[in-house]
Homo-oligomer: A and B are copies of this chain.
Amino acid sequence: MKQSTTPLLIRIDERRPLQQQIYAEVRRAILEGVVAPGARLLSSRALADELTVSRTTTLLAYEQLVAEGYLTSHQGSGTFVARELPDDMPGIRVSTAASKTREARISKRGAELAAVPPPGLRVGGPPRPFRLGTPGLDLFPVRLWSKLAHRRLKSATLVQLDYGDARGLPLLREAIAEHVSSARGTRCTADHVIIVAGAQRGVEMICRLVLDPGDRAWTEEPGYPGARSALLAAGADIVPVRVDGDGLDVSYGERRAPDARLAYVTPSHQFPAGVPMSLSRRLALLKWASRARSWVVEDDYDSEFRYGTRAVPCLHGLDVDGCVIYVGSFAKTLFPALRLGFLIVPPGLRETIRAVRRASDVHPPTLDQATLADLMIEGHYQRHLRQMRAAYLERLGALSDALRRFCGDAVRLRPVRTGLHAVADLYGADAVRVHQEAAARGVEATPLSAYFIGRPKDANALVLGFAAIGPESIVKGAEKLAGAIEAARKGGGSGARLNAS
């Protein structure tokens, strides 16, 4: 036999995301020195058996830890605690002597916050096929943006260099109100708009304001990990509500948790399943929220990119009772590093947000806000959206063609009406195996099952981003993906069993 494995005592709370708990527990064991550098861990399969969870769950938790440098994985011989820990680790280990005092000095709330899992597998580095969450940065008009920014910077006034409005720059709030009113089918004025340091910050702030620890919150199942992170950071009790072809199954949610205080939804383009929420479901959701006095957080993250279909009005536009908080992002329409997003909030929340902002980040950088305002007011933003819509349609077409050409019947793309990613159902090969084989080939192909909190259903599929890279790279990526599928098929019967376990 090989080197013996180090046992891991992992406590699992059935109601919280399993993969993320396993990730956090293994990482904690490493940080606290429970498992030594170089120690061999249980295989992901054995750990899955021990915890009676799906192997997808343990495998993805291990992969995240490998990606972050906590674990190393050797083909055939197993998974080990890294001997060279990530660059921020030595400091932690140096002060082992003080670790007891240090631990004692972190608050209970701090420990809970520290245990909040990262919002998904973020790989980093230059874009590769088929990365999620990154838009077509290769087509971003860097020269135009830097021209507008330069104009603002060199003419900055004393008032613009000083502290500004905690709700965000009035000029930008007006431009956003106008854009949203014409583009997203809802009415609002600058008074309703609050500029935030990215949509994630907006969601996190809202969760903290409208939820008390222990309050229940609906999330979509499968769903967006960033929202779950924000909810967990707020101490929420997450209730996964299944998604079908019409989006969130509201009546299922009402049966499981009628008293939830918040529902987080992505109605324009469900993340990750890709379906839009039907009008009847939208109305049912609003009816529930109104009756239950709950909040609906509508994350409209990539709704600007629609392909040929007419827009269903956003939830906010249907809301007569002030239940809906709308979250908008510029990370997908412009670039993530800008860290700007916005909220549209009902009057009752505005003063609260203002108070919270003054005690924390005050407002996002003024000159970035001013540059964005100019981009919108001068019509560049609209033009950029039009151009990107065309480019994304081309990229989607390239993906669709290339998958048909290289993968044949092994892959079937679900219809894409909106957004920057597609869901590809797999036939005859297991998605997690394909994901691994693809990673070895430099291709990011995320299994749909990674986005479930509970047991994945109809999830032998990959979530493929088509926005971040050009058509030629997409074609090359599809060819490599075909190779990965082939290898996963040859890998034997294990694959087919994985998701069923």
Q: Which residues from chain A sit less than 8 Å from chain B, CB to CB?
A: 31, 87-88, 91-92, 94-95, 98-99, 101-111, 113-119, 122, 124-127, 133-134, 137-138, 140, 142-143, 145-146, 149-150, 153-154, 156, 158-164, 167, 191-192, 197-198, 200-201, 204-205, 208-213, 215, 226, 229-230, 232-233, 261, 293-295, 321-322, 335-340, 346-352, 354-356, 358-368
Decide yes or no: A337 and B116 within 8 Å by CB, A198-B362, A211-B107 being known contacts.
no
The distance from the CB of A295 to the nearest CB of chain B, in whole angstroms, is 6
Asked if A209 and B365 make an inter-chain contact with CB atoms under 8 angstroms apart, the answer reads: no
Among B153, B158, B164, point to the contact of A126 (Cβ < 8 A).
Answer: B158
Asked if A133 and B163 make an inter-chain contact with CB atoms under 8 angstroms apart, the answer reads: yes
Asked if B161 and A102 make an inter-chain contact with CB atoms under 8 angstroms apart, the answer reads: no
Instruction: Give the chain B neighbours of A294 by CB distance below 8 A.
Output: 105
Instruction: Give the chain B neighbours of A138 by CB distance below 8 A.
Output: 158
Instruction: Give the chain B neighbours of A106 by CB distance below 8 A.
Output: 209-210, 348-349, 352
Identity of the chain B residue whose Cβ is nearest the Cβ of A211 in the assembled complex: B107
Asked if A161 and B212 make an inter-chain contact with CB atoms under 8 angstroms apart, the answer reads: no
Instruction: Give the chain B neighbours of A212 by CB distance below 8 A.
Output: 107-109
Identity of the chain B residue whose Cβ is nearest the Cβ of A95 in the assembled complex: B347
Among B31, B101, B293, B321, point to the contact of A293 (Cβ < 8 A).
Answer: B101
Asked if A110 and B360 make an inter-chain contact with CB atoms under 8 angstroms apart, the answer reads: no
Instruction: Give the chain B neighbours of A111 by CB distance below 8 A.
Output: 352
The distance from the CB of A184 to the nearest CB of chain B, in whole angstroms, is 20
Asked if B368 and A87 make an inter-chain contact with CB atoms under 8 angstroms apart, the answer reads: no
Asked if B109 and A358 make an inter-chain contact with CB atoms under 8 angstroms apart, the answer reads: no
Instruction: Give the chain B neighbours of A163 by CB distance below 8 A.
Output: 122, 124, 133-134, 336-337
Instruction: Give the chain B neighbours of A140 by CB distance below 8 A.
Output: 161
Considering the chains assembled together, what is the distance between the CA atoms of A360 and B94 in angstroms?
29
Decide yes or no: A355 and B114 within 8 Å by CB, A158-B127, A163-B122 being known contacts.
yes
Decide yes or no: A156 and B142 within 8 Å by CB, A200-B361, A368-B365 being known contacts.
yes
The distance from the CB of A489 to the nearest CB of chain B, in whole angstroms, is 33
Identity of the chain B residue whose Cβ is nearest the Cβ of A366 in the assembled complex: B337
Instruction: Give the chain B neighbours of A143 by CB distance below 8 A.
Output: 154
Asked if B98 and A200 make an inter-chain contact with CB atoms under 8 angstroms apart, the answer reads: no
The distance from the CB of A99 to the nearest CB of chain B, in whole angstroms, is 7
Asked if B115 and A355 make an inter-chain contact with CB atoms under 8 angstroms apart, the answer reads: yes
Decide yes or no: A337 and B91 within 8 Å by CB, A211-B107, A261-B107, A349-B106 being known contacts.
no
Identity of the chain B residue whose Cβ is nearest the Cβ of A103 in the assembled complex: B348
Identity of the chain B residue whose Cβ is nearest the Cβ of A117 in the assembled complex: B355
